[in-house]
Amino acid sequence: MACPVQFICRGVRTVGLILFYYVFSIGITFYNKWLMKGFHYPLFMTLVHLSIIFCLAAVTRWAMHCWTGKPRVVLSWTDYLHKVSPTALATVLDIGLSNWSFLFITISLYTMTKSSAVLFILFFSLIFKLEEPNPFLILVVLLISCGLFMFTFESTQFNLEGFLMVLLASFIGGIRWTLTQVLMQKAELGLQNPIDAMFHLQPIMFIGLFPLFLYNEGLSLSTSEKLFRSTELSPLLYSLFTLSLGGGLAFGLGFSEFLLVSRTSSLTLSISGIFKIKAHLYGSWLARARSWSCRCCGRAETSPPTSTTQRNTRSTCTDQQAASPRGTAEGPEPQREPITTPLMRF
C-alpha cells in the first residue's frame, strides 16, 4: 500500500512543480515579445535580468542564513571555473540567442524551432548517461517534436536569421539543461538548492554575455533616448520599471526551472514546456478562428442582395405602383436601398 501512495505523492508533486513553472514561463514569453516591440535591446535586457537575479538570490541566501543559522555553500575557484562555468556559458548563450530572435521571428516560428530542443536534451542525456536508452522514450520524444512542428508549420512567417538563432539556441539549450542536471544532482557540490545554483551561475553568465552586448548594442544603446540620453524623467522611470518587472519574472522562471530539474530531470522540463506551448498555440488558433468567423458573419450581413432577392423586390414594387394612382400618373417612385446593420467585428 505504501508504494501506490508514494507514487501518487510523487506524481502530485511533479504536477505542482510543472504548474509552478508554467506561470513564469508563459509570463516571460509574452513579456519578451511585448517589450521587444518598443525596446530593441534584448541583450541589454538580459544583462539587467541577470543582475536582478543575482541580487535577489544573494538577498534570499542571506535571509535563509539568518533564519536557519547555517552557512550557505560557497564553491572554491577550482570547482567554480571547471564545473560551473560551462553550465553558465551555455545558459547565457541559450537565453541571449532566444531573446535576440524575437526581433526577427514570430512566436509561432520560435515555438516550431525551439521544439527541437527536446531532441538535443535527449541526445546529450544519453551521452552523459542521465537517461537509459529506451526505444519507447525516443519514439515519444520524436512524435512530440514532429507533431509540434507540423502544428505550427503553416502559420509561420519564415526569417532565416531568426531561425538560425533559435536553432543554435536549441542545440546549446540541450547542453545547458544536461549540464544543469549534472550540476544540481551532484551531492558533493552542494548546489541542490535552486537559489544557491542561481547565485553561482549569474556572474559568469553576465561576463559571458557582456562582450556580445558591447559588439551588437553598446553604441546604439549609448546614443538612445530610451535610457542614457533620455531628456525626460518619466520615460526613463518607465523603462527601468519594465526591465525590473522582467527581472522578477526571470528570477521566478529560473527558480522554477532549477527546482523542476533538481527534483525530476531536464527531459521532464523540456517535455512539460512543449505541452505548455501546444496549449498556448491551440488557444491562439481558437482565437483566430473565432475572429475569422465573426468577420465572415459581418460580411454576410453587409453583402449585396442576390439576383432572386432583386427580382422579388422589383415585382413587389411593380405591384405597389400598379395599385397606387400616383404610380401610373407620376411614374414609379425611386427605390430605396434596404437598411442593414453589420455585426461588430472583433
- Taking alpha carbons only, the member of 6, 18, 8 closest to residue 265 is 18
| Under 8 Å between Cβ of 205 and 70 | no
pLDDT of residue 60: 93
Least confident piece of the model among 143-147, 224-228, 309-313:
309-313
At residue 329, the pLDDT reads: 42
Rounded to an integer, the average pLDDT of 236-252 is 89
Q: Are 17 and 260 in contact (CB under 8 A)?
A: yes
Residue 154 has pLDDT above 60, yes or no: no
Compute how many other C-beta atoms are within 10 angstroms of the C-beta atom of residue 158: 10
59 near 138, Cβ under 8 Å? no
- 123 by Cβ neighbours in 10 Å (0-12 / 13-18 / 19+) ranks as middle
Mean pLDDT of 26-37: 82
Residue 297's pLDDT band (boundaries 50, 70, 90)?
Answer: low
Given CA atoms 212, 176, 104, 28 in this order, what sign does their dihedral have?
negative
Measured between alpha carbons, how far is 118 from 171 in angstroms, rounded to an integer? 9
pLDDT at 283 over 70: no
Q: Which residue has the higher pLDDT, 282 or 71?
A: 71
| Residue that the C-alpha cell 434596404 belongs to | 338
* H or E element at residue 235: helix 233-263
- CA 326 to centroid of chain Cα atoms: 71
**Mean pLDDT over the full length of the chain:** 75
Contact assessment for residue 148 and residue 279, using Cβ atoms and an 8 Å cutoff? no
| pLDDT for the residue 148 | 61
What local confidence, expressed as pLDDT, does residue 69 receive?
85
Q: In this structure, what C-alpha cell is assigned to residue 49?
A: 535580468
Tell me the pLDDT band of 300, cut-offs 50, 70 and 90: low
Query: In this predicted structure, what is the pLDDT of residue 149?
Result: 66
Residue 322 has pLDDT above 60, yes or no: no
* Alpha carbon distances (Å) from 78 to 74, 82, 84, 180, 194: 12, 6, 10, 18, 21
As a whole-number percent, the residues of the chain with pLDDT over 70 amount to: 71
Angle at the Cα of 84 (from 82 to 88), degrees rounded to 5? 125
With the C-alpha atoms ordered 173, 175, 176, 182, is the resulting torsion angle positive or negative? Answer: positive
Q: Read off the pLDDT of each residue in 194-223 and give the average, rounded to a whole number.
A: 86
pLDDT of the residue at 135? 78
pLDDT-derived band at 334, boundaries 50, 70, 90: very low
- For the stretch 166-189, pLDDT in tens is 889 988 988 888 888 888 877 677
Q: pLDDT tier at 157 (50, 70, 90 boundaries)?
A: low
